[in-house]
Amino acid sequence: MSLFIIVLLPFLGALLPGLMIRAGRQVCYTTTMLVTGAAAIGLATHAPAILRGETVTAKLDWLPGLGLNANLFLDPLGFMFAALILGIGLLIVAYARYYLSREDNMGEFYVYLLLFQGAMVGIVLSDNILLLLIFWELTSLSSFLLIGYWKHLPEGRQGARMALAVTGMGGLALIGGMLLLGQIAGSYDLTVILERRGQIQDSPLYLPALLLILLGCFTKSAQFPFHFWLPHAMAAPTPVSAYLHSATMVKAGLFLMARLWPVLSGTPEWTALVAGAGLLTMVLGALIAIFKHDLKALLAFSTVSHLGLITFLLGTGTAFGAMAAVFHILNHASFKAALFMSAGIVDHEAHTRDMRRLGGLRKLMPITFSIALLAGLSMAGIPLLNGFLSKEMMLEEATHTTLFGSPMLVTVAATVGALFSAAYSFRLIAHTYFGPERDDYPSHPHDPGAGMWLPPGLLIIPVVVIGLFPALAEPFVKLVTGAVIGNAAELPDAHLKIWHGLVPALWMSVIAVIGGALLLMAFRPLSKAWEAAPRPEAKAIFDDVIAGSVALSRGLTQRLHDGAFTRYAAIMVVTVVAIGAHAWFTGTAGLPTREMLPMTPIAVVAWAMLIAAAAFLVAAHRNRLAVLILMGIIGLMVSVGFNHFSAPDLALTQISVEVVTIILLLLALNFLPNRTPAESGAPRRIRDGVIALSGGAAAAGLIYTILMSDFPLGTISDYHLANSYKGGGGDNVVNVILVDFRGFDTFGEIIVLGIAALVIYALTETLLSSKVRARLLNRGYETEQAGDAHPLMMVVLTRVMMPVVLMVGVYIFLRGHNEPGGGFVAGLVVAIAVVMQYMASGFAWAARRQRYPYHGIIGAGVLVAGLTGIGSWFAGVPFLTSAFGYFRIPPMQEFELATAMGFDLGVFLAVVGAVMLSLESFSRLARRQDTEDSEYAMDIDPSRGAELVPGRAKEEN
């Protein structure tokens, strides 16, 4: 079977349990077994080739640009791991079938389990280290889901998050390490990297790469000081603990160290780090394990300890160490998974895992007892069981290893570790199964059905068989060891056997077993002393770190983003000025290339007025009405300025815009208090003043230098001047730019205007359909109201003005192409004509006489402008290409017709619609409870004769 299928099967199969659970637990279980089984069979088909010493590969390009390819290869090392994963996987799936209760969602469990399985198989089959990273992180993620599987347990959630944080951190470090490794080796393909030992170890990047990779391995394999997550991951259901957190996932770190052994090992750094961390973890884990009362906690720390043992073996950097490591990986997987499952059985039956409440189960659960006894003794390193063999090899290796300059250190530490290991193994058996039977178990225990004890029972077979006949395992172990060490070393000629003679390792072993037994006898006082001794509690520290960083992040985030807009704006202005100034002062400013223009008296006066108005505005900024008036003055001066600099179009536009905005702002002021309250103290005002002045000074300085220099390279405007008439059919270059040269900009801008009006309308509608409506209707008046809201004089005047203003609008529109004017200004002028009617006779009166909805006018404007543009498509020219011609209809003079007029009409309509829609929206908001719709154009109307009563009074009667 293709390697791709072996890896993909669990992933694709992961979809099934979630679906099949609808058909019942048995179907769900069977499906999962089939998926795992199929993958296992697929693996088995490669067994002959692997045992012959061949390597199976499968390659698929994924992201060749980066070197990330879906390349898989299967060698003895990968085969051993894959076999462990799938083989134990089968047992675990079967075990979980009976372990999970009816309330547990079995489908979900198997989904996660299969995801994990696929990821794990992916790790061990990857030939590309980036691909390996992907699977690596996937195991962290699926482990996160599995640990948190019992969502209702806080321990599960916290354990899951802790595991994710720690292994996630390692995973990220590993990303860095792998990228470095790939950079050094020039390839991300493992098979290539493994050939480049010299190149890698000579590289200056070797140490950072090693550190990052080891960080990944140590976190994954729970090496000190990252061991603390593993015991908390035991909150997961026991099948998960047995599978992920003892037999497979935590060995991924070991796998990677073994995989990269040929290129990374053998340096002093490697030995110090790996062997040191391994040794420390072994001793420390074993020590803590002795005093754990929870069966699973004890097993968790014993796992930590054994992982340390294997790490140490890999760290020594010798071929013999590697062989011992491989052998112990196999042995540990078998006895530890069996122990976990037996612990799960005890928990399942007795409803407790606390050894202080257990004991005497030997007779009640004979089958479970036998399994636990054999597995436990193997863990303790008792002869004739497989644990003994690999432990002997470890002790043997320890006697040959020198660490930190001391040859004795390792020997002593390894012996102590083995001693502790024996102690907790004995305790596990003694305190659970021996002793008197009790009558206070939470639930009366007895052996479970075969479905639960058979999986661990099957695992005991290799424990015993290999223990008795180690030679059976030797060829395979040597094959795998060969794959680990590659070309980096010679395969050791040692043999796996029970009796090596009276070597130092045997004496160390004897000391360990006897010492362990003595330790168990003295357990009670020792335990008391242990409980009394102060020790750092990893979970508390971790929780504090996380809570601290959350609080810190929260504080920082909230302090920075406190919602004060003035602060945001101040930061922005300061940033812009600072960066702009930096750019200016690091460059070279050219000398002015223009003469200063003469200062005419009129210009000086206008300039002084502008400054004065601005200054007054700052001084009077709390009085909103005054601000508005001063803004009007400033706008007017700007228009005058435009005119002074020969830009009549701009001046005209500016003046009309001023008029319309002032009217709209006046309406808006209606909803605001007349005065802005003072909200900031003097220091802040000074700060803001300084920032404002610096911004103003920067802008002024920039503009000054721009005004004082010529265009260094000429400008495109010359073309516009030259071609406005010939190419655009208009003398008014500004207008031709607006509707022709850059008509597309104008198209965008009328849309902006239209959108603005639509937004104002939408906002009004939203407000009026919310609770705000009542508040708006019921608010009072700040000042006294005029008795005559719609005075006669104004009504008459605006009526007279209307046709005149409309006429002006049309005139301005028509002359636009050749003279100052155009659709935009015309639109504003016409809007003003209509606004006047609203002002004079009130909103309701005017609105009733207005037949075209303003939305429509905006829409029509955009449409007309757009359609004019699209019209040119029919002539086979691009959007908005203008055409014009001169016509003569006698007796009139010759006149010009240009398609640009259609476009300008669109502009005109959009402007009228936008202004009027905004006005209408404001007016609707402005209504109060006592506003009513007069049917008369004015409040006091002489022509209505006798009933000279203002509409308001009449209604009230």
Site for other proteins in 181-210 (CB under 8 A): 183
Positive or negative, the Cα torsion across 321, 322, 327, 330? positive
- What is the amino acid identity at position 268? P
Q: How far is CA 170 from CA 167, 427, 945, in A?
A: 5, 33, 93
Does 693 bind other proteins (CB under 8 A)? Our answer is no
Does 744 bind other proteins (CB under 8 A)? Our answer is yes
Residue of 835, 831, 822, 829 lying closest to 907 (CA atoms): 822
Site for other proteins in 60-99 (CB under 8 A): 61-66, 68
Write down the least CB distance from residue 108 to other proteins, Å: 8
For the chain, how many residues are written?
Answer: 957
As a whole number of angstroms, the distance between CA 287 and CA 277 comes to: 15
Q: Which is nearer to other proteins, 175 or 373 (CB)?
A: 175
Write down the least CB distance from residue 158 to other proteins, Å: 8
As a whole number of angstroms, the distance between CA 443 and CA 432 comes to: 15
Q: Which of 195, 294, 749, 932 binds other proteins (CB under 8 A)?
A: 749
Site for other proteins in 581-610 (CB under 8 A): 582-591
Does 235 bind other proteins (CB under 8 A)? Our answer is no
Does 752 bind other proteins (CB under 8 A)? Our answer is yes
Concatenated DSSP letters for 467-532?
A: HH-GGGTHHHHHHHHHHHHTTSSPPP-----S---S-HHHHHHHHHHHHHHHHHHTHHHHHHHHHH
Q: Which of 23, 207, 518, 576 binds other proteins (CB under 8 A)?
A: 576
Using left for φ > 0, alpha for ψ between -120 and 50, and beta otherwise, residue 592 falls in beta
**Count of C-beta atoms within a 10 Å radius of residue 650:** 17
Does 579 bind other proteins (CB under 8 A)? Our answer is yes
**Count of C-beta atoms within a 10 Å radius of residue 531:** 9
Dihedral Cα 710, 711, 713, 715, nearest 10 deg: -140
Does 155 bind other proteins (CB under 8 A)? Our answer is no
Write down the least CB distance from residue 878 to other proteins, Å: 5
Write down the least CB distance from residue 360 to other proteins, Å: 32
Which residues are 505's β-sheet partners?
A: none
As a whole number of angstroms, the distance between CA 165 and CA 228 comes to: 12
Interface stretch with other proteins, choices 78-86, 701-709, 777-785, 923-931 (CB under 8 A)? 701-709
Does 144 bind other proteins (CB under 8 A)? Our answer is yes
Residue of 247, 251, 431, 432 lying closest to 345 (CA atoms): 432
Does 882 bind other proteins (CB under 8 A)? Our answer is yes
As a whole number of angstroms, the distance between CA 926 and CA 838 comes to: 13
Q: Which of 92, 125, 374, 862 binds other proteins (CB under 8 A)?
A: 862
Write down the least CB distance from residue 581 to other proteins, Å: 9
Write the secondary structure of 15-78 as one string of H (helix), E (strand) and C (coil).
HHHHHHHHHCHHHHHHHHHHHHHHHHHHHHCCHHHHHCCCCEEECCCCECCCCECCCEEECHHH
Does 711 bind other proteins (CB under 8 A)? Our answer is yes
Q: Which is nearer to other proteins, 553 or 670 (CB)?
A: 553
Write down the least CB distance from residue 659 to other proteins, Å: 22
Does 2 bind other proteins (CB under 8 A)? Our answer is no
Interface stretch with other proteins, choices 160-168, 272-280, 401-409, 797-805 (CB under 8 A)? 160-168
Does 823 bind other proteins (CB under 8 A)? Our answer is no
Write down the least CB distance from residue 898 to other proteins, Å: 12
Does 694 bind other proteins (CB under 8 A)? Our answer is no
Q: Which is nearer to other proteins, 136 or 301 (CB)?
A: 136
Does 871 bind other proteins (CB under 8 A)? Our answer is no
Write down the least CB distance from residue 582 to other proteins, Å: 8
What is the token pair recorded at 84?
Answer: 């462990």
**End-to-end CA separation in angstroms for the chain:** 97
Does 818 bind other proteins (CB under 8 A)? Our answer is yes
Please check whether residue 496 is in contact with residue 327, taking contact to mean a CB–CB distance below 8 angstroms: yes
Q: Which of 54, 437, 537, 765 binds other proteins (CB under 8 A)?
A: 765
Q: Which is nearer to other proteins, 752 or 804 (CB)?
A: 752
What is the token pair recorded at 197?
Answer: 């030992």
Interface stretch with other proteins, choices 139-147, 500-508, 671-679, 800-808 (CB under 8 A)? 139-147
Helix (H) or strand (E) holding 824: helix 823-841
Site for other proteins in 891-930 (CB under 8 A): 893-894, 896
Residue of 87, 195, 183 lying closest to 461 (CA atoms): 87
Burial 214-253 (b: 16+ CB within 10 A, else e): bbbbbbbbbbbebbbbbbbbbbbbbbbbbbbbbbbbbbbb
Site for other proteins in 925-954 (CB under 8 A): none
What is the token pair recorded at 327?
Answer: 């052998």
Q: Which of 565, 780, 891, 945 binds other proteins (CB under 8 A)?
A: 565
Q: Which is nearer to other proteins, 203 or 818 (CB)?
A: 818
The residue whose two tokens read 């102590």 is: 416
Q: Which is nearer to other proteins, 167 or 378 (CB)?
A: 167
Interface stretch with other proteins, choices 229-237, 277-285, 378-386, 549-557 (CB under 8 A)? 549-557
Count of chain residues binding other proteins (CB under 8 A): 142
Q: Which of 272, 510, 552, 793 binds other proteins (CB under 8 A)?
A: 552
Does 157 bind other proteins (CB under 8 A)? Our answer is yes
Does 534 bind other proteins (CB under 8 A)? Our answer is no
Write the secondary structure of 316-329 as one string of H (helix), E (strand) and C (coil).
CCCHHHHHHHHHHH
Q: Which is nearer to other proteins, 507 or 886 (CB)?
A: 886
As a whole number of angstroms, the distance between CA 735 and CA 400 comes to: 93
Does 758 bind other proteins (CB under 8 A)? Our answer is yes
Q: Which is nearer to other proteins, 690 or 755 (CB)?
A: 755
**Count of C-beta atoms within a 10 Å radius of residue 612:** 14
Q: Which of 666, 751, 789, 926 binds other proteins (CB under 8 A)?
A: 751
Does 778 bind other proteins (CB under 8 A)? Our answer is no
Q: Which is nearer to other proteins, 449 or 885 (CB)?
A: 885
Does 715 bind other proteins (CB under 8 A)? Our answer is yes
Does 766 bind other proteins (CB under 8 A)? Our answer is yes
Write down the least CB distance from residue 673 to other proteins, Å: 17
As a whole number of angstroms, the distance between CA 694 and CA 573 comes to: 9
Does 631 bind other proteins (CB under 8 A)? Our answer is no
Write down the least CB distance from residue 896 to other proteins, Å: 7
Q: Which is nearer to other proteins, 108 or 354 (CB)?
A: 108
Does 866 bind other proteins (CB under 8 A)? Our answer is yes
Site for other proteins in 294-353 (CB under 8 A): none
Does 258 bind other proteins (CB under 8 A)? Our answer is no
Q: Which of 226, 243, 426, 741 binds other proteins (CB under 8 A)?
A: 741
As a whole number of angstroms, the distance between CA 901 and CA 887 comes to: 15
Does 673 bind other proteins (CB under 8 A)? Our answer is no
Q: Which is nearer to other proteins, 432 or 724 (CB)?
A: 724
As a whole number of angstroms, the distance between CA 24 and CA 19 comes to: 10
What is the token pair recorded at 783?
Answer: 């000042």
Write down the least CB distance from residue 42 to other proteins, Å: 21
As a whole number of angstroms, the distance between CA 414 and CA 489 comes to: 24
Write down the least CB distance from residue 347 to other proteins, Å: 20
Please check whether residue 519 is in contact with residue 290, taking contact to mean a CB–CB distance below 8 angstroms: yes
